Chain A
């Protein structure tokens, strides 16, 4: 009469089997994209290995004392390669839906002969330039929201100053270990984090109500005006302390963390979160960038080709966006981040120098 109640083991086995089936279906559906992404990732990794070897050669050839130098590589080669690599990064960043800084720092820091101090300074300026370029359009369209950004910016930019000062004071191996762990953490976030187009916010919290953080944006695909409000503002602001510190310490930009907090935790619509996050970077990275500039950690030879390369790459990326399959590019970004994050971690641990 009564059906048998399954024990915990049976329930777990059933759950596991459902997850396996879902995973297999997902892989089957994206088989072509996965194979293409795998091949491209391998090609990029091969190029990075080559750069790494050349970089090691350059470091060996150049003694640690500036008086002795025997490098046969002309000075202009590295900025030129940097320009080409950042151009490609700019394309991949747009197609993969990530900021340029998050790819720039681990790749340039891990595979080029530049010291990580200068790479992080350049990474911040690259992320800053991208945010400055995108900011005006996002603000004018009402996608980025100044009322949401201003309170968050004050927390994030103050923390970014502290992060930048800590980053310049800590030993290189500690930074490499922390950077590698962060990049691998970003990979996990990219694989697991869900997005919510219009999160349900039943009631705005007291702080956001007092600050009147609410808005309307026009959804171009439907023509609808979307009213939005936010909740859990104190928790969100607290998390921006950590985000700001990490942005300043690693020079990564922080879109990868801003968006989940604004969207999933605070309940801002996805498009408002993405746009406000991009605009927010222009403020957070400004404060951290000044610390790097004033402490001498900015090399024009590294910064200017990178900014130009990544901006031109972004322009091409936007044009390619309509013609490519973003899923495949996302796998490439994840693959490259996984590789460069592991490289940073192993470099910091002294296993792969």
Chain B
């Protein structure tokens, strides 16, 4: 039986993804534990949560005084907002994986795939930037 060899870029992508996913999950569990145990006071008191989770996101932001985009980074001292570190990390790991394989693709003279990877990074960074706003309803 022959052993299949995944390409160098595929292995690099997989290694970073593996490490990032595990780290992201640990961060998520730890920050959630900090939140529910009340080690850091939350922006929205836990007992008041049921008042808000039935609202549309537009109403929720208005009622809680929270802002969209990356404004949460300025409120990390609050238990509930702290959870966004893990969530953002899990959502950002793919971008790091892509950035890591770009030099490998160009070194292998796989220019088309190198360019595809660059465009994908730009697409994901645009999504993550907070520039794109959805209209409320």
Contact = CB atoms under 8 A, between A and B. Distances in A.
Contacts of B70: 294
Contacts of A303: 83, 87
A235 interface: no
A217 B55 CA distance: 48
A223 B1 contact: yes
Contacts of A314: none
B105 to A, nearest CB: 9
Contact of B128 (A78, A283, A290, A295): A290
Interface in B1-40: 1-7, 9-11, 13-15, 17-18, 20-21, 24-25, 28-29, 31-32, 35-36
Contacts of B55: 64, 115
A300 interface: yes
B127 A225 contact: no
Nearest to B94: A286
A346 to B, nearest CB: 19
A161 B48 CA distance: 32
A89 interface: no
Contacts of A283: 94, 120, 124
A11 interface: no
Contacts of A210: 112
A151 B135 CA distance: 30
Of A129, A171, A311, chain B has the most CB atoms within 10 Å of the CB of: A129
A221 to B, nearest CB: 11
B46 A75 contact: yes
Given A161-B132, A283-B120, A300 B32 contact: yes
B6 A140 contact: yes
B75 interface: no
Given A218-B3, A283-B120, A289 B49 contact: no
Contacts of B57: 115, 117-118, 168, 295-297
A142 B6 CA distance: 5
Category for how many chain B residues contact A? 35 or more
Contacts of A145: 10
B5 to A, nearest CB: 7
B46 to A, nearest CB: 5
Contacts of A225: 2, 4
Contacts of A282: 17, 94
A305 B90 CA distance: 15
Given A139-B17, A300-B80, A125 B91 contact: yes
A147 B105 CA distance: 11
A158 interface: yes
A172 interface: yes
B93 interface: yes
Nearest to B119: A154
Contacts of B84: 293, 298, 300
B4 A142 contact: yes
Contacts of B77: none
A75 B50 contact: yes
A192 interface: no
Residue from the set B56, B57, B61, B86 with the largest chain A CB neighbour count within 10 Å: B57
A130 to B, nearest CB: 10
Given A114-B53, A139-B14, A301-B49, 6 more contacts: A117-B56, A125-B91, A150-B117, A157-B120, A164-B134, A286-B127
Interface of A: 58-59, 62, 64, 66, 69, 71, 73-76, 78, 113-115, 117-118, 125, 128-129, 132-133, 135-137, 139-142, 145-147, 150-151, 153-154, 157-158, 161, 164-172, 210-211, 216-218, 223, 225, 282-283, 286-291, 293-305, 307-308, 311
30 contacts: A66-B52, A69-B48, A75-B50, A113-B53, A115-B53, A115-B55, A125-B87, A132-B90, A133-B21, A135-B21, A136-B17, A150-B113, A153-B120, A161-B132, A169-B136, A169-B137, A172-B56, A172-B137, A218-B3, A293-B84, A294-B69, A294-B132, A296-B60, A296-B66, A296-B68, A299-B53, A300-B87, A304-B28, A304-B32, A308-B29
